[in-house]
Chains A and B, each alone.
Chain A
Amino acid sequence: MSAARRTLLRAPLTMVEEQDSRFRGDEEGAFSALGTSHWRSLGQLAPTDESNSLLHREFPASEFADPMSRRSFLSLMGASLALATLAGCRRPVEKIVSYAKPSEEIVLGNPEQFATVACIAGSVTGVLVTAREGRPIKVEGNPYHPSSRGGTNSFLQASILGLYDPDRSKDILNRGVASDYESFLAFWRPLRDRHLAAGGVGLAVLSGDIVSPSLARLRREFGHTFPKARWVVYESVSDENIRAGIRAATGGDYHPVYAFDKAKVILSLDSDFLMTEADAVANARAFADGRRVTDGKSLMNRLYAVESNFTVTGANADHRLRLKCSRVSHFAAALGAELEKLGLNVPGSEAALGKVPAGAEKFLMALARDLYLHRGNCLVVAGRGQPAVVHTLVCAMNAALGNVGTTVGYLPATEPCSSLTELAALTGAMKSGQIETLFVLGGNPVYDAPADLNFSEAFSRVPNAVVLSLHNDETGRRSSWLINQAHFLESWGDARSADGTLALQQPLIEPLFGGHSDIELAGVVTTGLDRRGYELAQETWKEHLPPLDFEKHWRRVLHDGMLAGSAQPWQTPAVNGSGVASALANGLPKSDDWLEVVFRPSYAVGDGRYSNNGWLQELPDPMTKLTWDNAALISPKTAERLGRLETEEVIRLTADGRSVEAPAFILPGHADDTITLTLGYGREKLGGVADGAGFDAGAIRTTDRFFFAGGASALKTGKRRPLATSQNHHSMEGRPIVREGSLDQYQKNPDFAAEMVEQGPAPSLWKEHTYDEGNQWGMTIDLNTCTGCNACAIACQSENNIPIVGREQVRRGREMHWIRLDRYFTGDADNPQAVTQPVACQQCEMAPCEQVCPVAATSHDQEGLNVMTYNRCIGTRYCSNNCPYKVRRFNFFNYTNKLDELVQMAQNPDVTVRSRGVMEKCTYCVQRINRGKHNAKMEDRDVRDGEIVTACQAACPSGAIVFGNLNDPESRVSKLKKDHRRYDLLAELNTRPRTSYLAKIRNPNPELEEA
C-alpha cells in the first residue's frame, strides 16, 4: 500500500477521535455513535494546504472573471458614467396597455393555477401550473394526483425554463430550409396514399414510451390502416428489462406498482427508485411516509441498497452494499437461494446457494433473515439497468415473501415497451433501404441509440425522415422534415400514470412557435387529417367519460387534473415456477472482467432531454456536486489501481472496441472495479447551454451492453479537464451541522441531537427583541425524510428569479442557489454513508449579518424575517463574511440584463430581479407570505396554518419541509419544533435560527451493526 493511500485511510480515524473527545464531555447524554465524522470531499478527509486554503475562502477567486486591463476598465467606467448621467436627465415615459379583449377569468396581477399532467420518459406526474397573465411561470405538484400528491422533482420544476428555451426549434424545416405545416401536409398526403396502397410497406414510426391513451389509440389505428408498417417504441432508459423479467416469471405483460409506504423492509437491487426509476416522485413520497418518526415509539422502514454507483437511494439506505453492476444478479440469485433455505419457494435458485459475491456474505445472510421476518410487508425492487433475469428473480422473491398484493402489485401493460431488438430490426431495415418514410415522434435516436447500431448512418438512408422535436438536435438536423414540437405546457393530450389514473394534459399557453404535439403528428400520419390535439383527446376520452354530460365530465377532469377513481385494481398474477427456473438456468451475466462501465441517466439532464436547460445544468449533482459536466465516477481504490488517477484527469475508456475520453471523478463509496458514466452530455450544436458540457457516454454504449459493459479498459491521457464541483463551497468548518443517530439510540435518548453541541448558547450582549405578536414565521426541515433530490433547489430558482452563472463562475464559488444541498460522507473513504442537508438562510432572530451591514440593507421585520433590501445594498459583502451558515449570495455580475426575452417570460413578476453588486438570499418566499396575508385580509380572517407554503416546501416530494406560524401553538411547524429530534444549526452562537432541523434517524439491522 502506498504512502498516500495510507494517509487517506488514517485520516478519518484521527478525525473520529477528535470529534469523539469533543463530545465525550457531555455526561449522561453521551452519544456514543458519534463515531461519525462528516466530511464532504476526499480533500477534506486528507487535507492538503491547497484544499484547505480553498475551503476557507469565502469566494475562492478574485473579483474579475477575466484579467482586465486598466484601459478597458477606464473605458468601461467612462461609458457607464456617461450613460448614467444622460439617463438621469429625463423621466422615462412608461406605457400601459389594457387587454384588447379582456378575459373573464384573468384578473391582472393575480396568479391562476391549472391542472395538467407531465409525461417524462414514461413517467407521468400530475401537476398544477401557475400562470401570470396567461404566462406559465411555476410548476407545482397536484395534491390530488396519486403520482404526485403535491410533490415534484427537479425536472418538472425546470420544465418552465424548457418552455422558454431560446434554442427550441422554432420553425418547420425542410432539409434545413424554413417551411410551413401546409407544405409538410402537401408533401405527406400523396406519400401517405402511396403507403396506404402498399399496406404500409416502407413506413415506420419511432416513438417514445406510450403513456397517452390518445397516442395508444392512434397507434392501434395506425396498425389497422397500415398493417405492414412498423411502429417501434424506444427510450434510451426504459423499463424494457423489467417488463421482460416479469413476462418470464408470470407469462403475462405487466408493469409493477409499489407501495413503499407499506413496506417495513425494502431491498433495492441497483434501483434508484427515489430518482431515476419510473414514478420516482410518488416513490419518494411513499418511502418518506414509511420513514417518518414522530416519537420514540414510531416504527420506520429499513432500506438495504445493493448498487455500484453511489446513488441518492443508496445515500438514504440504512445498509448499503457496493457491488459491481454485473454481480447484482449473482447476489439476487444467492439471496433467492438463501430465502429458499429459510423455507420459502424461490424456484430455480438452489444452484446459487452459497455463491455469494465475495464480501457480501454477512450482508446477505442478515438481509435474508430480515426479509423473512417481515414476510408480507417487505419489498424487493430492482433497477432498470439490471438484466431481465434479475427482475424475474425479484418477481419470484416478492411472491415467495408474500408481498404481492400488499407492497407490490401488477397492472396489465397494454402498450408495447421500448425494445432494443425492434430498434435494431428497424435500423437494419433502414440500412437496407426498406424504409422509405420514417416518423420520429419526439425522440433523438441519432444521439441516444446504441452506438453499434450506427443509427445515424441508417437514418441518412431514409429518403423521407420526419422528425418531431423540441430542439434542432442531432436527429432533427439530419432529417428531411423537422417539425417543431409543442412543449407539454403548450399542447392538449392525456396520460395514464403508473397506477392507472387517467388525466388530461391541457395547454397553459398557445404554442410559442406554433409547434405540434406528438398526438397531432401521429394523427396526421394515421389519418392524413390535420386535427388539433384537443379534438383527438376528446375523441379518445369518449371511451372514458359517460356520453351524457360529456362536456361537464370533461371539465371536471380538467379542473381536478385527473379522472377520479380511474386507478386500476392491482392484479396478482401467479409466478410460474418453471419460467423462473428456466430464466435462471439460462445463466447470469458474466462478471469476471475487472473493469466494468455502467451507464446511468444524469440526475441533472436525464438521458439528454434536459441538456439545454441552464437551471439543471448548474444544479449540483446530489452526490458528486458536479455542475455543467459529467465525469467518469470511480472509487478511490480503483483510481489507485489505474495509476493513482486523480479527479479531473482525463482517461480514455475503451469498451467493445469503442472509446471515449472522460474526466475522472473520484467518488467515495462507488463500487470498486466499476466506472459509472452519466448519459445526456456531450451534445452537438444543441444550444448555448448544452454545448461544451461534458462528453457523450453513449459513444461506447452498445445493444448487448446497454446498461453496463464488462471488459473495459481505462488509460490516462495526460490531459486534464477542470470540473466545476460545489462540494467544498460554503464550508462550515467541521462543526456538528448535520446530526444523525440510529433508531435504537433515538429510542433510548430522544434528545440526542440537541445534546450534540459543544456548549450552550452564549449570553446575549444586548436586550433581545421578543417576537411574540402576530405571525412569527418558522420552518422545520426533517433530515430523516429529506432524500436530497434537489427539487427544492430548482423550485427556489424558479420562484425567486435566481440567475445561472455558468461553469467558470461556479468554479469560483459564485453559484447563486438560495437553498443548497450539502452532502456529507461519514465513515471511511471506500465505503462511507452519505447524508444530505438542505441549507438556506436560517432567518436568525439575532442575525450576525444585520449587525455588520453599514447601510442597514439587511434588517429584521416584525414577523421575524431577516429581510434584504436590494436597493440599499452597496455590496460590501460584510454580511456574507459574518454569516456562519454561508447562505448569502452576491451578484458579482449583472446576470440578468442580457437574458433573452423568451427567458424573461419565465420570471416571477412578484420578485425583484437583482442587479450587479447586490447581496441576496432566501426570503422564506416573502412574496408568498405577503400574498397569503393579503388573501386572509381580504376575507377578514387570520392566515390559516398551511395556507402559506414556501416554494421549497411545495416542491418537496417527501414533505420534509414545513413552514408556518410559530406563534400559533396549533400550527404544524410549532408542533414539529417541539419534536425531540429538533436542533438548530450552530445554536451555540445564539443566532436563534428560525429554521430548525430534525435529526436523521437510521434504522440499521442490529445483526449488521459493527461491534
Chain B
Amino acid sequence: MSQVFPKWANRIPAALVGVLVIVIAGGVGFFWYYGSPQYTDVGYRPSQPLPFSHKLHAGDLGMDCRYCHSQVEQSAHANIPAPATCMNCHSLILKESEKLLPIREAVATGKPLQWVRVHKLPDYAYFNHAAHLRAGVACVSCHGNIPEMDVVTQREPLSMSWCLDCHRNPTLNLRPLDQITNFKWQPPANMALLAQELKTTKKIAPPTDCSGCHR
C-alpha cells in the first residue's frame, strides 16, 4: 500500500511552527513600532482654524511664550490666549487682514475660537506645567523648537516611558529659571555641574511613583 502522505509532509508541522513564530513576532513587532506614540503621535500636525504662525510670532518677532500662554507658570494648564490677547496688537497691526477675521468675530460675538489640540496626554495622566517650569524644565524639552514651526507639530512621543526617562534623570533638561522660554539657549561648558547644582539646591526629585501622575 502506497503512503497516503509524501515524506515531505513530515516537515509541515515544523514549518507551521516556524510560520507561526514569524507571524507572532511580526505582529508584535508591527504593533511595537506602528502602535507606539513615537510612530502614531510624533509629527501630528493638524491644521488650525486660523493660520497662526508660531514661527512669525515667537521666532521672527521674538515674543516670549508667556505673553500669550500667560498662566503657564501658575497652573497645570498652559492656557490658550483669549481673542482679546490677539487684539492687543492686532487692533493696530493688520487691522483689516482677512486671515484675522475669525479673531475679530470671536471678540465681537464672544464665542471663542476652537483650536485643535496638538500636545495631548491621556485623561488619566495629570501633568502640571507650573511644576515643570518651576523646576527649570524648558518649553523646548517637550514641545520641540516651536519658534521654527509655522504650524505646530508634535516632536516628542509624550509616552509614559519618555516621561519616565526624564523623571529618572532630569539633569539633562534642567536650566536656570530665566532661560526656560529661551529656545536658543546653549548649555554652558560646565552644564553637568550646573544641572547637578540646580537639582540639589532646588531639591528636584521628580516622582517615579504611579501616584506622581495618576490619581
State which of B7-15, B58-66, B124-132 sits at the interface with chain A: B124-132
How does the 8 Å CB contact mask read for A922-950 relative to B, with 1 for contact and 0 for none? 01001101100010011010000000000
Please report the C-alpha to C-alpha distance between residue A910 and residue B127 in the assembled complex, in whole angstroms: 11
Contact of A95 among B76, B81, B107, B116 (CB under 8 A): B116
Q: Decide if A862 is an interface residue (CB 8 Å cutoff).
A: yes
Q: Which residue of B lies closest to A92 (CB)?
A: B120
Residue B75 interfacial (CB < 8 Å): yes
Interface size on A (CB < 8 Å)? 37
B124 touches A871 (CB 8 A): yes
List chain A residues, Cβ under 8 A from B85.
102
* Alpha-carbon separation in the docked complex, A98 to B74 (Å): 16
Q: Is A108 an interface residue (CB 8 A)?
A: yes
Q: Which residues on the A side are within 8 Å of B46 (C-beta)?
A: 93
Residue B115 CB within 8 A of the other chain: yes
B68-105 at interface with A (beta carbon < 8 Å)? 71, 74-77, 79-85
Whether the Cβ atoms of B82 and A867 lie closer than 8 Å is no
Contact B215 A930 (CB under 8 A): yes
Q: How far is the CB of A318 from chain B (nearest CB, A)?
A: 42
In terms of DSSP, what is the predominant structure of the interface of chain B? loop
Contact with A along B168-211 (1 / 0, CB 8 A): 00000000000000000000000000000000001001010111
Closest to A861 in B: B209
* B134 at the binding interface (Cβ < 8 Å): yes
Tell me the bound Cα distance from A863 to B208 in angstroms.
12
Complex CA–CA separation, A867 to B202 (angstroms) = 27
B113 interface residue, CB < 8 Å from A?
yes
B28 sits at the interface (CB 8 A): no
Q: Which residue of B lies closest to A95 (CB)?
A: B114
Q: Is the pair B215, A100 in contact by a Cβ cutoff of 8 Å?
A: no
Contact A862 B209 (CB under 8 A): yes
Cβ-based interface call for A177 (8 A): no
Is the pair A100, B112 in contact by a Cβ cutoff of 8 Å?
Answer: yes
Q: How far apart sit A96 and B74, CA to CA, in the bound complex (Å)? A: 19
Are the CB atoms of B210 and A98 closer together than 8 Å? no
Q: How far is the CA of A923 from the CA of B126 in the complex (A)?
A: 15
User: Given A95-B115, A96-B80, A96-B115, A912 and B106 touching (CB < 8 A)?
Assistant: no
Contact A938/B134 with A97-B80, A110-B75, A859-B210 known, Cβ cut-off 8 Å: yes
Min distance, Cβ B68 to any Cβ of chain A, angstroms: 10
A857 (CB) vs chain B CBs: closest residue = B210
- B167 smallest CB distance to A (angstroms): 13
Collect the chain A residues with CB atoms within 8 Å of residue B84's CB.
Answer: 101-102
For residue B73, which residue of chain A has the nearest CB? A938
Judged by a CB distance under 8 angstroms, whether A107 is at the interface is yes
Whether the pair A107, B116 counts as a contact (CB closer than 8 A) is no
A900-935 contact mask (Cβ, 8 Å, vs B): 1 or 0: 000000000011100000000001001101100010
- Inter-chain contact A912/B123, CB cutoff 8 Å: yes
> How many Å lie between the Cα of A871 and that of B75 in the bound state?
25
Asked if B40 is at the interface of the complex by the 8 Å CB criterion, the answer is yes
Complex contact A923–B215 (CB within 8 A) = yes
Given A99-B82, A109-B75, A870-B124, are A934 and B113 also a contact pair (CB < 8 Å)?
no
| CB of A977, distance to nearest CB on chain B (Å) | 22
Query: Is A91 engaged at the interface, CB distance under 8 Å to the other chain?
Result: yes
A94 touches B110 (CB 8 A): no
Residues from 105 to 139 in A contacting B, C-beta threshold 8 Å: 107-110
Interface bits B109-152 vs A (CB < 8 Å: 1, else 0): 01111111100101110101011001000000000000000000
A686 interfacial by beta-carbon distance below 8 Å: no
Q: Is B112 in contact with A934, judged by CB distance below 8 angstroms?
A: no
Tell me whether A93 and B115 are in contact in the complex, defined as CB-CB below 8 angstroms, given that A108-B71, A930-B126 are known contacts. Answer: no
Closest chain B residue, CB of each to CB of A939: B134
- CB neighbours of A937 from chain B (8 A): 131, 134
Flag whether A430 is at the interface (Cβ < 8 A): no
As a 0/1 sequence over residues 70 to 100 of chain A, the CB contacts with chain B under 8 angstroms (1 = contact) are 0000000000000000000001011111111
Are B80 and A98 in contact, with the CB atoms below 8 A?
Answer: yes
* Assembled-state Cα–Cα distance A1007/B120 (Å): 70
Query: A94, A867, A929, A938: which contacts B116 (Cβ < 8 A)?
Result: A94
Query: Distance in Å from the Cβ of B32 to the closest Cβ of chain A?
Result: 16
Among B107, B116, B131, B209, chain A packs the most CB atoms within 10 A around the CB of B209
A759 located at the interface, meaning its Cβ lies under 8 Å from any Cβ of chain B in the complex: no
Given contacts A910-B215, A923-B215, whether A109 and B113 have CB atoms under 8 Å apart is: no
The minimal Cβ–Cβ distance linking A937 to chain B, given in whole angstroms, is: 6
Q: Please state if B215 and A926 are interface contacts (CB–CB under 8 Å).
A: yes
Q: How far is the CA of A870 from the CA of B123 in the complex (A)?
A: 12
Distance of A849 Cα from B120 Cα, bound (Å): 32
Knowing A96-B80, A109-B75, say if A867 contacts B210 (CB, 8 Å): yes
- Measured in the bound complex, the distance between the Cα atoms of B119 and A94 in whole Å is 10
**A418–B122 CA distance with the chains assembled, in angstroms:** 54
Q: Does A869 contact B (CB under 8 A)?
A: yes
The answer to whether B75 and A98 touch across the interface, beta carbons within 8 angstroms, is no
Residues of B within 8 A of A107 (CB): 71, 74-75
Hey, which chain A residues are within 8 Å of B44, CB to CB? 91
A323 at the interface (CB under 8 A from B): no
Taking the complex as formed, is A666 at the interface, i.e. its CB lies under 8 A from any CB of chain B?
no
User: How far is it, in angstroms, between the C-alpha of A863 and the C-alpha of B131 when the chains are bound?
Assistant: 19
- A431 → chain B, closest Cβ, in Å? 53
Interface residues of A in 853-867 (CB under 8 A from B): 859, 861-863, 865, 867
Q: Is the CB of A100 within 8 A of B111?
A: yes
Please indicate the chain A residues that have their CB under 8 angstroms from the CB of B112 in the complex: 97-100
Of A102, A109, A911, which contacts B76 at CB under 8 A? Answer: A109
CA distance A712 to B168 in the complex (A): 73
Interface pair B117/A934, CB less than 8 Å apart: no
A871 and B111 contact, CB distance less than 8 A = no
* A815→B10 CA distance, assembly (Å): 59
- B214 — which chain A residues lie within 8 A by C-beta? 867, 869-871, 912
CB proximity to A under 8 Å, residues B18-47: 40-41, 44, 46
Provide the bound-state CA to CA distance between A645 and B205, in Å: 64
- How far is B117's CA from A911's CA once the two chains are assembled, in angstroms? 22
Chain A residues with CB under 8 Å of B207's CB are: 861-862
Nearest A residue to B129, CB-CB: A109
Shortest Cβ distance from B114 into A: residue: A95
Within 8 A of B (CB), among A820-876: 859, 861-863, 865, 867, 869-871
Are A101's CB and B110's CB within 8 A? yes
Query: Within 8 Å CB of B82, what residues of A?
Result: 98-102
Contact check, B210 vs A861: say whether CB atoms are below 8 A apart.
Answer: yes
Query: A266 vs B111: C-alpha distance in the bound complex, in angstroms?
Result: 61
Known A-B contacts: A91-B41, A912-B214. Give 10 more (CB < 8 A). Answer: A96-B80, A96-B116, A100-B107, A101-B110, A108-B77, A861-B209, A861-B210, A910-B215, A930-B126, A938-B130
8 A-B pairs with the lowest CB-CB distances in the bound complex, closest first:
A861-B209, A98-B80, A109-B75, A109-B76, A94-B117, A109-B77, A95-B114, A867-B211
Question: Which residues of B are in contact with A by a Cβ distance under 8 Å?
Answer: 40-41, 44, 46, 71, 74-77, 79-85, 106-107, 110-117, 120, 122-124, 126, 128, 130-131, 134, 202, 205, 207, 209-212, 214-215
9 A-B pairs in the complex with CB atoms less than 8 angstroms apart: A93-B46, A95-B114, A98-B82, A102-B85, A108-B71, A108-B77, A865-B211, A912-B215, A934-B130
